């Protein structure tokens, strides 16, 4: 049986990613992942760690991190040492930059870009790089590979999604109507033998661009960034910044600006959505885009 654990000790290990279970003295250890990805070797190591130090069970959190319950307090150091040998670490709790969640856009038939690459950059630069940074409250990031929003990026403190704005090269178009047939929103119609795009209906998903057999339909790729989303006791959809971001570095720089802004303007205990509600979105957007 594990020894009793003081509130001070429980708080100390909570900051490291170990949450006390209802059974006093036992903890669930949260292993960080980059959008739920592990190597086969790491999967085996996680299973072995669960048997060796915990209850033998493994589960995933809503942010695609691994949770192993039933770890005695006195085994926490050995647990951390064991998983570290496989490049794994614990965390994901407290008023910090939380692990990023993204969809599988890099390998999805609808994905417009390498979501894995971006989430890895965000993880390294902000989740790991800002590990010791204490924020007013938790800060969550979501990444979506297309406007289908499977990963619900707009329900995060900052959300990034990809989009592709279509355009028609009228000189090359042969009026095959493949673009019209492929559009799930009926945003493409034909007029005098040429496609016409209804901007109000267009999702910028890029399906019409892919459907064109002769590349007469072209697309301009960009990232769309939402700010101030929240899910839980109080919900709020994030609002899009009034700028299209063309490169991955543009996105990373904006995340950096948002975190700095949140540290400077956020009040203790409030999410960035609360900061936005208190200051007003136009004022926040002006400060962020002016610093970009």
CATH number at residue 25: 3.30.70.3340
Supply the CATH number for residue 280's domain.
3.30.413.10
Supply the pLDDT for residue 223. Answer: 98
Rounded CA gap, 147 and 163, in Å?
A: 6
Together in a domain, 283 and 257: yes
Together in a domain, 29 and 157: no
Neighbours of 166 (CB within 10 A): 23
The low-confidence residues of the chain, meaning pLDDT below 70, are: 1-3, 23-24, 291-292
Relative to beta strand 18-20, strand 141-144 is: unpaired
Domain boundary among 63, 84, 105: 84
pTM: 0.91
Domains in the chain: how many in total? 2
Together in a domain, 249 and 197: yes
Together in a domain, 56 and 180: no
Supply the pLDDT for residue 21. Answer: 87
Domain boundary among 43, 63, 84: 84
Supply the pLDDT for residue 3. Answer: 65
- HSE-CB of 41 using CA atoms within 13 angstroms: 6
Together in a domain, 155 and 250: yes
Rounded CA gap, 151 and 108, in Å?
A: 13
Residue ranges making up the domain that contains 22:
7-84
Domain boundary among 84, 110, 140: 84
Number of residues that this document lists for the chain: 292
Rounded CA gap, 153 and 137, in Å?
A: 18
Tokens matching residue 171? 């000189």
């Amino acid at each position: 049986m594990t020894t009793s654990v003081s509130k001070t000790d429980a708080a100390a290990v909570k900051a490291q990613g170990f949450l006390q279970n209802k059974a006093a003295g036992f903890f669930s250890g949260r292993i960080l992942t980059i959008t739920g990805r592990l190597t086969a070797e790491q999967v085996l190591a996680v299973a072995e760690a669960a048997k060796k130090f915990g209850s033998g069970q493994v589960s995933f959190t809503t942010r695609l991190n691994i949770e192993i319950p039933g770890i005695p307090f006195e085994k926490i150091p050995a647990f951390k040492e064991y998983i570290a040998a496989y490049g794994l670490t614990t965390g994901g709790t407290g008023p910090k930059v939380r692990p990023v969640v993204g969809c599988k856009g890099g390998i999805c038939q609808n994905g417009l870009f390498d979501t894995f690459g971006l989430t890895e950059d965000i993880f390294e630069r902000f989740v790991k790089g800002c590990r010791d940074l204490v924020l007013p409250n938790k800060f969550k990031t979501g990444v979506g590979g297309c406007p289908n929003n499977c990963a619900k990026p707009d329900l995060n403190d900052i959300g990034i999604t990809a989009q592709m704005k279509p355009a028609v090269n009228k000189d090359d178009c042969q009026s095959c109507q493949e673009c019209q047939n492929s559009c799930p929103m009926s945003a493409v119609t034909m007029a005098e033998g040429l496609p016409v795009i209804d901007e109000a209906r267009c999702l910028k998903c890029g399906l019409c661009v892919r459907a064109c057999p002769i590349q007469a339909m072209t697309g301009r790729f960009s990232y769309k960034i939402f700010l101030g989303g929240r899910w839980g006791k109080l919900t709020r959809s994030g609002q899009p910044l009034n700028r299209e971001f063309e490169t991955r570095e543009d996105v990373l720089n904006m995340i950096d600006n948002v975190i700095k802004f949140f540290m400077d303007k956020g009040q203790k205990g409030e999410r960035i959505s609360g900061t936005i509600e208190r200051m007003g979105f136009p004022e926040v957007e002006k400060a962020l885009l002016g610093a970009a």
